[in-house]
Structure 1
Amino acid sequence: MSVKTMNTAQVQSLLKKVAGMDKEGGDERFKHIVHRVVRDLYQAIEDFDVTPEEFWSAVYYINDLGKNGEAALLAPGLGFDHYLDIRMDAEDEQAGLTGGTPRTIEGPLYVAGAPLSEGFARMDDGTVEGETMIFTGVVTDEQGQPIEDAIVDIWHADVKGRYSYFDPSQSDYNLRRRIKTGADGRYTVRSYLPSGYGCPPDGSTQLLLDNLGRHGQRPAHIHFFVTKPGFRHLTSQINVAGDKYTYDDFAFATKDELVVEAKTVSASPNPWDIEGDYKKLEFNITLLNAPNETAQERHARVRALEADAA
């Protein structure tokens, strides 16, 4: 079909009515965003000659996406989380706020209120046989001085790529801990090496990725928030070196500075009562001074149990 309708008075009037621009009230910014998004979708329909069958297939796909609860999984898969990071990194550079440990995406599986420990914590509940891991490092300021009383909030998947709370077979807060650093700035957790994971194979996200010729796999990784009054909040994660998907993460979270080798250690006795070999990952974290109070807080979004933990 070669008809062109976007620039007609009929369609332009329709767009204004759809966005409420012919009415008083409402939020002006919201109206303009809706107008832009709907306009661009109309334009795509025209440019690609989208059929009614294709359009309604997309509508019902969105219905299924909501039923599956996968919208927050599809967002990083389409690069939105990474794009927001790119924008924030660019804003930082423009404001001269570069340096420190790089941010990267949070993901949708954080749960607030994990148990708080001083300096060290064991993260697993002891019910699963996995490859024992020590994950440790020092939190410092821009001058390399240790930061005391920083909170390192850590979470990761189990050996099957599943997360507690979202996987009801796991105990509460399994593989989720908050560590308060001591005067030396060090945090240490004992856990087991996490596994990477893939999107649900029959889910909405994987269906879309299949049509793009893409996989839905994430490498083994460990998430963390780091907070301390006076310093900028850090949202980041490390990827384990050597994983098949370390540099092919469907969520685009990999940064070279955040890839960490899991080194095999044979040392007995050791401070953690580990028998035999274990994996050790060491990752030091640098926080930047906060230019304002807002920079000390993580951005607002819906997170599991956050209201209860506040």
Structure 2
Amino acid sequence: MTTTTDTNPKAADSGASATARFRSDKASGVADTPKERVDLLAGEVIEAVTATVRRHKVTYDEYNALKSWLISVGEDGEWPLFLDVWVEHAVEEVATEHREGNKGAIEGPFYVPNAPEQGADGTIPMREDEHGTELVWTGQVTSVDGSALGGAVVELWHADSDGYYSQFAPGLPEWNLRGTFTTDDEGRFAITTIRPAPYQIPTDGACGKLIAAAGWHAWRPAHLHVKVSAPGHELLTAQLYFPGDEHNDDDIASAVKPELMLAPTTTDSGETVDYGFVLDPTRD
């Protein structure tokens, strides 16, 4: 039995949702950026663009094509998608390069805070007839010194078997495949969900036009999104991947890392996997 969304989501609708979510959750921090930092970063980005123009002798037709495309990105609400797919992986690498514990991965545009709490051993919210292979995931959250982190929070979200995320595609329950799990006294958790599917990022908007014009592909490998947090420790944002996916080596978002690869075992009812997290203490 296959469960699908009622209507195929449009890039503009998904983009509008991602833009609204960003403005609600993250845009406030922009006002605190020092002018000196803005001057440095904006200046170097503009310098890099103009250097590309000079190096490749960009024509006015090419320049106007770029201008038209940038306007379309804004009209389609796809700036969160564009930046998260092609830029965020570099920001994430810089942000976590000091860590001794788990390395992270990009958050992407589809995170929603405050997903329903499911305890230390629970099932992620899903439809009664949710299509997909059952995945039982167990693990432990510890600090870099090996001590267990009881009461750590594991937020999980991922696409359904059709590659769609709740709250960003029509026809899905609000919290479908989104849940919050809190570890027991030994830092352990057990989560029952389904194995997500690989999917293409939206291709009917401006980002899709870039992909087609450049001859790229739009695929992301199957992955689980997580945020793991505990008092006194740095927040870990990561994505976990599955071996054998044909797009692990050419992910459009360049986010796959070997240490984030799962090793599931097949069972009579689906799959099981054990994967835990080591968090770094907050730096002074």
Q: TM-score, normalised by structure 1?
A: 0.75
SS in structure 1 opposite 2:72? helix
> Counterpart of 1:108?
109
Check if 1:290 corresponds to 2:282. Answer: yes
Alignment of 1:61-80 (within 5 A): 61-78=69-86, 80=87
TM superposition shift of 1:261: 2.3
TM superposition shift of 1:28: 4.3
* Alpha-carbon spacing, 1:243–1:35, altered in 2? closer, same or farther (3 Å): closer
* Alpha-carbon spacing, 1:252–1:182, altered in 2? closer, same or farther (3 Å): same
Stretches of structure 2 lacking an aligned partner (at least 5 in a row): 1-33
Contact 1:237 1:258 in 2 (8 A): yes
Q: Which amino acid aligns with 2:134?
A: T
Higher relative contact order (CA 8 A, sep 6+): 2
Contact 2:181 2:189 in 1 (8 A): yes
Structure 2: distance between partners of 1:151 and 1:211: 42
> Counterpart of 1:239?
241
Q: TM-score, normalised by structure 2?
A: 0.82
Alignment of 1:1-310 (within 5 A): 27-78=35-86, 80-90=87-97, 92=98, 98-123=99-124, 124-266=126-268, 277-292=269-284
Structure 2: distance between partners of 1:130 and 1:211: 34
* Alpha-carbon spacing, 1:245–1:232, altered in 2? closer, same or farther (3 Å): same
Larger Rg: 1
Contact 1:121 1:177 in 2 (8 A): no
Q: Percent identity?
A: 29
1:146-186 Cα distance to aligned partner (Å, 9 max, x none): 21000001101000010000012110111000101011211
Stretches of structure 1 lacking an aligned partner (at least 5 in a row): 1-25, 93-97, 267-276, 293-310
Structure 2: distance between partners of 1:114 and 1:131: 22
* Alpha-carbon spacing, 1:33–1:129, altered in 2? closer, same or farther (3 Å): closer
RMSD: 1.9
Contact 1:242 1:261 in 2 (8 A): no
Structure 2: distance between partners of 1:115 and 1:69: 28
